Amino acid sequence: MGKPLRAGLIGCGGIAGAHMRAYRQLGGVEVAAAAEIIPDRLQSFGDDWGIENLYLSYEVMLEREKLDIVSVCTPPFAHCAPTIAAAEAGVRGIFCEKPMAMNLAEADRMLEACERAGTLLQIDHIYRFERNFRQAKAMVEAGAIGDLLVVSGKCVGPPRSPENYAGQYRLNGGGWMMAQGTHLFDLFRFYAGDPLWCLANVERWRPDVDIEDAATGLFGLQSGVKAFFEVSGNRADRTFAFMAELEGVKGRLHISDGVDRLHFYQWTAGDTPDDWRPVETVEEDPIAIVLQDFLSAVMDDREPESNGREGRAALEMIMAVFESQRQGVACINFPLTIGKNPLALMNEEGTLSTLGKDPFR
């Protein structure tokens, strides 16, 4: 066995713990250092995981430590600068949390920096590695439901509070669209290819937030498949659900995250829409799987599956949704030419209307 890869973490919030668990599970990695701007959080993280080299500045960490790989575990507003700095410091690979960036201009700068430095970039689009969603793709490719016609996806969660970073545009770049819509759109491309156009409606329900509360719409894909979506924070009970359906000429697959969550029926077998049959899958840790792909890519000097180009493509679909609303629920063609986040432009222009009533009060 060769020398372990030296890793550093930028950001020590909740998701950093998931990265650490996966690194420890996989082996072959020495997490040598961590950086975080909040001193108490940094020290607590170091104590919990036995990391001695702790930094309040990721720039200092990158300068002092000889790192092979870096995990960027910061909120979306702090993905671009650390990624560029890590690439310029000469690391071999960067594993960056989703969404890739706040807008397409940032994503392009990240890609350019990594390409200049010869640094591999992977975005944590974990659902394409989750067992149920991956098995569904294998079943489609094996012809279980015939030619694919329609994909649809739904992500619903609790309303986002402006007191939380996820409820503020300046930190997150949007609401549930940025947090989970990025996963959904990555899956659309995973199953059915690149988009041609988008038609979407974006709503804000509360006047005290500068992010969207809900978005619904349709993508036309180059493959001829249509992709419908709903992403919203409408769960007053504060629960979360993420699901997708794949419809073909011979049947349908329904997938959601969790145990025993892949079901299908085949019209050719005489099934009806009530005859959903479970499909057994092997339980695995998806973040360990995506990190294994990342580590293998670094060792083999190849592009990881969920690479920076894939991450940018999912972000472009989010930006198209926002731009469709900005232009009056217009049909938006790909590729997009707008570098800024259209949600930011709607906030500046005052064009993202509010229903004027918080449905949760």
Structural domains in the chain, CATH included, are: 5-126+287-307 (3.40.50.720), 130-281+314-349 (3.30.360.10)
Contact partners, residue 322, CB within 8 Å, separation at least 6: 174, 177, 200, 202, 212, 341, 342, 343, 346
Phi-psi region of 267 (alpha: psi -120 to 50; beta: other; left: phi over 0): alpha
Do 227 and 199 form a contact (C-beta atoms < 8 A)?
A: no
Cα gap 147→149, rounded to integer Å: 6
Encode the chain (361 residues) as per-residue pLDDT tens digits.
Answer: 578 999 999 999 999 999 999 999 998 999 999 999 999 999 999 999 999 999 999 999 999 999 999 999 999 999 999 999 999 999 999 999 999 999 999 999 999 999 999 999 999 999 999 989 999 999 999 999 999 999 999 999 888 777 777 789 999 999 999 999 999 999 999 999 999 999 999 999 888 889 999 999 999 999 999 999 999 987 777 778 899 999 999 999 999 875 558 888 777 666 666 666 768 776 777 888 999 999 999 999 999 999 999 999 999 999 999 999 999 999 999 999 999 999 999 999 998 877 655 555 5
Q: Is the dihedral of CA 42, 45, 47, 49 positive or negative?
A: negative
Which DSSP string corresponds to 308-321? HHHHHHHHHHHHHH
Residues 6+ apart with CB under 8 A from 113: 83, 84, 87, 88, 119
Convert 124-161 to b/e letters by CB count within 10 Å (16 or more is b).
bbbbbbbbbbbbbbebbeeebbeebeebbbbbbbebbe
